[in-house]
């Protein structure tokens, strides 16, 4: 967009003829005289920075979906993620944000950059000073977004439907007049008021099972479906984006070895081709990590007159363990593991007395979390 | 591109002709709110229009030089004021901003004004910065400008098309509009809320 400034030409005569609003006799829609190229998949980013309402992103996405559903092959608006931009700017990005524009009658403003009859960029700025709502009160975000996106596609004000200039209550579908205007520019079927929608996707986390205690490398998997198509699935661990997967099977290898033990929320968000989303989440427990530096040696107990051997065992805490209740030491007995001793969280040494001088002993020590769950074990053989 | 070159181009292209009609969804501002909220109300004629980039090069704005013929509420800085309107056309690049009123060369208009906030802001033009004491913007955007036609009829010009079929917003004689404004000015300021009616 910036580069366009360097190629300014004195073409305004031809241009002005192109921007005049064009009314339609059969329908009440009015075209601005500029539009996106037919077939455009216009990406937009949202700074959902309104402090006055929750769910504004979903409302904006729903409005975009209503326009995109008219003729997805002719034009669509696709959510491309969040942005930190807080005001309109000629920066090559289509941005939607909230900015406090003070007390005025303005609910939202659309900035349309164009060249000739072609739209180059749109920014929508909602006036944060107004009382916004997504649940039926005051000014409905989706209604206003639907109107402003009408300008984004190239519609001017008209005398009816969503493109009237004044707010008159909630209206969350594209009326037949506005739809006809869209179809005139981008093709598709006019149909009736309230078009069939591109339904949002669905997603389910299939692995691990909810509440599972996990450790090491864990496969996190999800299934996602959509009536038109799944664009991607994003996986989060405690709100941190772990990966984006754009093709099925949707999964990734979650490495828990670098995390503190404890409770984690795993979330998957599926996006369809127009940016509608669905999410699923589960809670899992990351088990304590194996204690560090588990070591031992067999010694002759010189404090007694008899020949008596002891195995001296020691370990250290793992730097990624927290809220550890204590440790458990297990000894192999044939094919079984038997609990040899339990310790508090500050004990790191154990003397296994009266051991057989000629026998090999196998031990495992595990940290125990606050929920009395054994963590990963550190093993040791002493001959 | 240098601003001086812009000016040269703009003189050639005589951008003046037209800023397109506004679009966006707004809350209806009744005349009483316009009268009460405007810092000044003037009647006059458009002397010239000039489009330029904002100081930070992020926006195109149009500078309307307006010759004041009558002050209904004031004061104003002088017989020539400038209005900064977001949007405009420079060469083959245009910016259309919803809610902005339209202006034409030599057009007669009655305008509700407020001083341009922070004229030296990067979002404003160098012309606004240079003329900070006479730089205004239209109060309540498109709702704050009435175009006066040759027959002396006043009409809010920002929403030409939708207003045509709206009986409540049909043009009214300038004399009647001025009478209403003066009557409202004689009232004591009140703390009325905005009307949300369509």
pLDDT in tens, A76-96: 999 999 998 888 887 889 999
- pLDDT score, position B44: 96
Q: How confident is the model at residue A3 (pLDDT cuts 50, 70, 90)?
A: very low
**Phi and psi for B88 in degrees, rounded to 5?**
150, -170
Residues A103, A129: Cα–Cα separation, whole Å: 6
Please report, for chain A, the start and end positions of each structural domain, with discontinuous segments joined by +.
2-186, 202-286, 292-382
Over range A230-247, report the average pLDDT: 89
Whether residue A16 lies within 8 A of chain B, CB to CB, comes out as yes
Q: Which residue of A has its CA nearest to B94?
A: A114
Q: How confident is the model at residue A264 (pLDDT cuts 50, 70, 90)?
A: very high
pLDDT tops 50 at residue A320: yes
- pLDDT score, position B57: 87
Whether residue A115 and residue B18 make contact (CB cut-off 8 A), yes or no, is no
Topology match between the domains A2-186 and A202-286: no
Alpha helices, DSSP H, located in chain A: 12-19, 56-68, 141-153, 176-186
List Cβ neighbours of B66 (8 Å cut-off, separation of 6 or more): B42, B44, B45, B46, B47, B80, B81, B82, B83, B109, B111
Count: domains in chain B: 1
Over range A255-279, report the average pLDDT: 89
Q: How many CB pairs under 8 A join A and B?
A: 167
Matching residue, tokens 């506004």: B22
Shortest distance, CA A155 to any CA of chain B (angstroms): 9
Residues B109, B88: Cα–Cα separation, whole Å: 19
Q: In what order do the strands lie in the sheet with A292-300?
A: A292-300, A309-316, A349-355
Lowest-pLDDT choice from A229-233, A306-310, B194-198: B194-198
pLDDT tops 90 at residue A341: yes
Lowest-pLDDT choice from A197-201, A231-235, A311-315, A365-369: A197-201
- Range picked from A26-30, B111-115, B130-134 for highest mean pLDDT: B111-115
Task: Measure CB to CB from residue A167 to each of B27, B96, B141 and give the nearest one.
Answer: B27
Residue with the bigger pLDDT between B140 and A196: it is B140
- pLDDT score, position A193: 44
Range of the domain at B106: 3-186
Shortest distance, CA A33 to any CA of chain B (angstroms): 10
Lowest-pLDDT choice from A159-168, A233-242, B77-86: A159-168
- pLDDT score, position A51: 80
What's the mean pLDDT when you consider all of chain A? 85
CATH top-level class of A2-186: alpha beta
Most distant CA atoms of chain B, gap in Å = 51
Under 8 Å between Cβ of A34 and A19 = yes
- pLDDT score, position B62: 92
- pLDDT score, position A172: 87
Over range A286-297, report the average pLDDT: 96
Assess if residue B193 is contained within a domain. Answer: no
Interface of A with B in 90-149 (CB under 8 A): 90-91, 104-116, 120, 143-144, 147-148
pLDDT tops 50 at residue A303: yes
Among candidates A91, A62, A88, which has minimal Cα distance to A77?
Answer: A62
Under 8 Å between Cβ of B144 and B159 = no
A226: left (phi over 0), alpha (psi -120 to 50) or beta: beta
- pLDDT score, position B24: 44
Q: How confident is the model at residue A170 (pLDDT cuts 50, 70, 90)?
A: confident
Over range A345-354, report the average pLDDT: 94
* Residue B159 with chain A: CB contacts under 8 Å: 157, 165
List Cβ neighbours of A43 (8 Å cut-off, separation of 6 or more): A77, A78, A79, A80, A94
Whether residue A265 lies within 8 A of chain B, CB to CB, comes out as no
Q: How confident is the model at residue A21 (pLDDT cuts 50, 70, 90)?
A: low
Write the pLDDT tens digit of every residue in A111-131: 999 998 899 999 999 999 998
- pLDDT score, position A19: 41
- pLDDT score, position A159: 76
- pLDDT score, position A102: 80
- pLDDT score, position A195: 44
How far, rounded to the nearest angstrom, does the alpha carbon of residue A83 sit from its chain's CA centroid? 13
Which token pair is A272?
A: 């369809």
- pLDDT score, position A285: 97
Q: Which residue of B has its CA nearest to A138?
A: B196
3-state secondary structure A178-222: HHHHHHHHHCCCCCCCCCCCCCCCEEEEEECCCCCEECCEEEEEE
pLDDT tops 80 at residue B3: no
Assess if residue B195 is contained within a domain. Answer: no
Q: How confident is the model at residue A23 (pLDDT cuts 50, 70, 90)?
A: low
Among candidates A303, A262, A269, which has minimal Cα distance to A285?
Answer: A262
- pLDDT score, position B109: 94
pLDDT tops 80 at residue A18: no
CATH topology for the A292-382 domain: Immunoglobulin-like (2.60.40)
Whether residue A105 and residue B28 make contact (CB cut-off 8 A), yes or no, is yes
Over range A61-70, report the average pLDDT: 91
pLDDT tops 70 at residue A371: yes
pLDDT tops 50 at residue B41: yes
> Which of B7, B98, B99 is the mutation pick for testing A, counting most A CBs within 10 A?
B98
Whether residue B3 lies within 8 A of chain A, CB to CB, comes out as no
CATH value of A202-286 in 3.30.470.20, 3.30.1360.120, 3.30.200.20, 2.60.40.10: 2.60.40.10
Assess if residue B192 is contained within a domain. Answer: no
Whether residue A6 and residue B1 make contact (CB cut-off 8 A), yes or no, is yes
Shortest distance, CA B43 to any CA of chain A (angstroms): 22
What's the mean pLDDT when you consider all of chain B? 77
């Amino acid at each position: 967009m910036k580069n366009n400034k360097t190629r300014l030409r004195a073409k305004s005569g031809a241009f002005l003829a192109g921007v005049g609003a064009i009314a339609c006799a059969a329908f009440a829609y009015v075209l601005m005289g500029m539009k996106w190229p037919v077939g455009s998949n216009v990406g937009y980013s949202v700074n959902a920075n309104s402090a006055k309402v929750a769910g504004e992103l979903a409302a904006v996405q729903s409005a975009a979906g209503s326009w995109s559903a008219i003729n997805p092959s002719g034009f669509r608006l696709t959510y491309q993620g969040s942005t930190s931009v807080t005001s309109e700017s000629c920066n090559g990005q289509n941005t939607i944000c909230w900015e406090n524009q003070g007390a005025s009658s303005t609910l939202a403003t659309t900035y349309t950059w164009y060249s000739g009859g072609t739209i180059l960029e749109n920014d929508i700025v909602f006036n944060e000073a107004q009382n916004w709502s997504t649940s039926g009160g005051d000014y409905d975000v989706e209604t206003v977004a639907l109107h402003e996106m009408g300008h984004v596609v190239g519609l001017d004000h008209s005398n009816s439907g969503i493109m009237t200039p004044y707010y008159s209550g909630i209206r969350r579908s594209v009326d037949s007049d506005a739809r006809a205007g869209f179809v005139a520019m981008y093709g598709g079927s006019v149909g009736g008021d309230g078009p069939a929608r591109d339904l949002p996707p669905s997603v389910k986390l299939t692995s691990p099972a909810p509440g599972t205690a996990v450790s090491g490398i864990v496969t996190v998997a999800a299934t996602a479906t959509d009536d038109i198509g799944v664009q991607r699935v994003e996986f989060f661990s405690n709100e941190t984006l772990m990966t984006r997967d754009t093709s099925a099977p949707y999964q990734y290898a979650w490495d828990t070895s670098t995390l503190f033990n404890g409770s984690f929320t795993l979330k998957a968000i599926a996006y369809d081709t127009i940016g509608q989303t669905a999410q699923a989440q589960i809670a899992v427990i990351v088990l304590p990590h194996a204690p560090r530096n588990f070591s031992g040696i067999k010694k002759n107990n010189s404090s007694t007159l008899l020949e008596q051997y002891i195995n001296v065992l020691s370990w250290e805490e793992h730097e990624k363990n927290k809220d550890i209740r204590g440790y458990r030491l297990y000894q192999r007995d044939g094919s079984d593991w038997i609990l040899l001793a339990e310790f508090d969280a500050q004990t790191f040494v154990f003397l296994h007395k009266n051991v057989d001088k000629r026998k090999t002993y196998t031990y495992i020590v595990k940290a125990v979390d606050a929920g009395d769950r054994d963590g990963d074990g550190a093993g040791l053989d002493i001959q | 591109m240098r601003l001086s070159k812009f000016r040269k181009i703009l003189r050639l292209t005589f951008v003046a002709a037209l800023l397109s009609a506004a679009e966006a969804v707004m809350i209806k501002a009744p005349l009483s709110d316009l009268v009460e909220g405007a810092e000044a109300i003037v009647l006059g004629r458009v002397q010239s229009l000039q489009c330029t980039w904002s100081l930070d090069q992020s926006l195109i704005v149009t500078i309307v030089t307006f010759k004041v013929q009558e002050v209904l509420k004031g004061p104003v800085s002088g017989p020539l004021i400038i209005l900064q309107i977001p949007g405009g056309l420079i060469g083959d690049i245009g910016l259309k901003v919803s809610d902005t009123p339209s202006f034409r060369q030599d057009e007669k208009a009655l305008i509700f004004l407020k001083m341009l906030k922070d004229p030296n802001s990067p979002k404003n033009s160098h012309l606004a910065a240079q003329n900070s004491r006479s730089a205004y913007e239209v109060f309540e955007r498109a709702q704050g400008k009435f175009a006066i036609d040759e027959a002396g009829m006043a009409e809010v010009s920002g929403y030409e098309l939708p207003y045509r079929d709206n009986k409540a917003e049909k043009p009214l004689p300038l004399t009647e509009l001025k009478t209403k404004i003066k009557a409202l000015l004689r009232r004591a300021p009140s703390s009325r809320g905005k009307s949300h009616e369509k």
